[in-house]
Structure 1
Amino acid sequence: MNIPKKAGVTGAVCSVMAIIALVVSSGEVRTSQNGLELIGNAESCRRAPYMCPANVLTDGIGNTHGVKRGVVKADQQIAADWEKNILEAEKCVNRYANGTTLKQGPFDAAVSVTFNLGCPAMQKSTMFWMFRQGRITDGCNQFPRWVHAGGKVLPGLVTRRAAEKSLCLTI
C-alpha cells in the first residue's frame, strides 16, 4: 500500500511509546504509564486512517474524531488527539464511576474500557454502578462481560479485558 508522505511523515505505523511520552510530558492526564500502555498497545498506532473492527474510520491511537480520508498525521497531532480522547474517557469515569475516589489500577482500567467502548455504553453499566458503590473487586470482575462486537466474541477484546481486569485488581 502506498502511504502518501505529508509534512515529513512517512510510514503507516507510529510508535505507541513515542506518543505516550508526548502525552505524559503534557502532565494533563491522570491515567498512568501502565494504563496508557494498555490502551495504546491494544489500539496500536497508525498515521493514516483505517476502518476499525466496528467499521468506523479511525486514525492515530483509536481516534475516531475528525478523521479525514487521506490525511496522514505526525506524532504531535496523534498525541494531541489521543490526549483529548483520554481526557474525555477520564471525565466519564470521574462522573459515572466515582473515578476521583478510585485507586490508580481501577481508574486506569475503567478509562481503558471507556476509551474503547465510549461513555454512553459505560455510564449505566453494572461495572460503573459497582465502582460508585465502592464495590471495586466486583466491578473489576465485570470486565470479561465486555468482549462482544457485532454479536461475536472478539479474541482481541478477550485479551484486552483480561489485561484491564488484571490492572483493575491491582488495588
Structure 2
Amino acid sequence: MKFTIAALASSLAVVSAYPITGTTVNCRSGPGTSYAVKKSYSLNDDVKISCQAAGTSVSGNNIWDKTQDGCYVADYYVRTGVNGYVTDKCDGSGSCAAPASNSATVDLIAKSEGFRASIYTDATGHATVGYGHLCTKSKCAEVPYSIPLSTANGKKLLASDMRKFETCITNMLNSKAVLNLNQYGALVSWSFNVGCGAAEGSQLIKRLNAGETVNTVLADELPKWVHGGGVVLPGLVTRRKNELALAKTSGSGAALPVKC
C-alpha cells in the first residue's frame, strides 16, 4: 500500500518531539518574555508542538512554540531543524507551510533508505530504525511506535521525518525558484540524505535562487553529491540518478513558490 504525506499526516495527532537546546528554558503563558512562567524544560527534554505564534524576538527568532503542556517556549531553544514555521500558527490562520511531498517522493526515499524494523547502527555509527530515522535517544526512545516497527508505522515515522526537509527546502528557496512537485521531491530526497545545512550552502540552491532552469541545475549539481569518506559511493550515484529521473518526470502539480 502506498502512502502520501497528506494521508499520513491525518493519522499523526501531533508533530514529532523536538529537543530543548538550553540548560533551563521557561515555558510561558503567552508568546513572549513578559508572560508568566508556567513551567521549565531542561536540556534535551523533548517537547511536542501544537502550533506556533509570533512574539518577542529571542536572538533574532520571533517564533514561539506552543507545547502540549499548553504554554509557549521560544523557538530559538527548540531544535526543529529550520528557522521558520514547522506547523500551523496558533491564531488559526495557518503558516506559509511547505508543500506535502507526493507519493513518488515518499517511494523514492523509502527505497533509497531501505526498511529495518529493528534498531541498527548505520555507516556513520548512528543508531537508526525504520526508513533511515536517526535516533536521538538511547534505544530510539523518542519513536512513538513499538519497536520492531511495522512497515505502516515505519511510513508514519518517515512522514514525520520528511516534514523537516520539506520545510527547509521551502524556506531556503526564493520566488525565482519555480518547481513542480517532482522537482521539489527530488530536492526533498537530496536534503533528507545530505542534511539541510549542506543543502542551504550549496551551489545548487544558489543557482535555483538566481532563477536558472531547474532541471539544468539539477542535472549539473546533483551528480556532484555522491561522495562519502572521500570516495564515490555506488548507492549515492544510484540515488542521485533516481532523484534526477523524478525531477524530469512530467505530470505533477506546482509546488514552489508557495502561495500563502
Shift of 1:83: 1.3
Q: 1:133 to 1:27 in 2, by over 3 A?
A: farther
Aligned residues: 153
Q: Is the 8 A contact 1:61 1:78 kept in 2?
A: yes
* Cα deviations by residue, 1:80-123 (Å, 9 ceiling, x for unpaired): 32112111010011011349842112100000001111101101
Change (3 A) 1:139 1:41: same
Give the equivalent residue in structure 2 for 1:84. 160
User: What is the RMSD computed on CA atoms of the aligned residues?
Assistant: 2.4
Map Cα deviations across residues 3-36 of structure 1 (whole Å, 9 max, x no partner).
xxxxxxxxxxxxxxx5x52745235761111111
TM-score normalised over the length of structure 2? 0.53
Instruction: Provide the rounded CA distance (Å) in 1 between the counterparts of 2:132 and 2:101.
Output: 16
AA matched with 1:43? E
Matched, 1:168 2:251: no
SS in 1 for 2:119: strand
Give the superposition deviation at 1:134. 2.4
Partner in structure 2 of residue 9 of structure 1: none
TM-score, with structure 1 as normaliser: 0.78
CA, structure 1 residues 51+37, in 2 after alignment: closer, same or farther (shift >3 Å)?
A: same
Q: Answer 1 or 2: higher relative contact order, Cα 8 Å, separation at least 6.
A: 1
Query: Matched residues in 2 for 1:40 and 1:112: separation?
Result: 10
Q: Which moved more, 1:74-83 or 1:113-122?
A: 74-83
Aligned to 1:115: 192
Is the partner of 1:94 in helix, strand or coil? helix
SS in 1 for 2:101: coil
Question: What's the counterpart of residue 36 of structure 1?
Answer: 106
User: Who is 2:88 aligned against?
Assistant: none
Q: Report sequence identity in percent.
A: 26
Task: Report SS of the residue matched to 1:50.
Answer: strand
Point out the structure with the larger helix share: 1
Q: Which residue of 2 aligns with 1:65?
A: 135
Residues 18-60 of structure 1: per-residue CA shift (max 9 Å, x gap): 5x52745235761111111111101011111112222222111
1:148 equivalent among 203, 218, 227: 227
Between 134-143 and 144-153, report the one with greater CA deviation.
Answer: 134-143
- Unaligned 5+ runs, structure 1: 1-17
| Secondary structure of residue in 2 paired with 1:48 | strand
1:137 and 2:215 matched: yes
Q: Which residue of 2 aligns with 1:8?
A: none
Structure 1 position 66, deviation (Å):
3.1
Match of 1:25 in 2: 7
Cα distance in 1, alignment partners of residues 217 and 185 from structure 2: 13
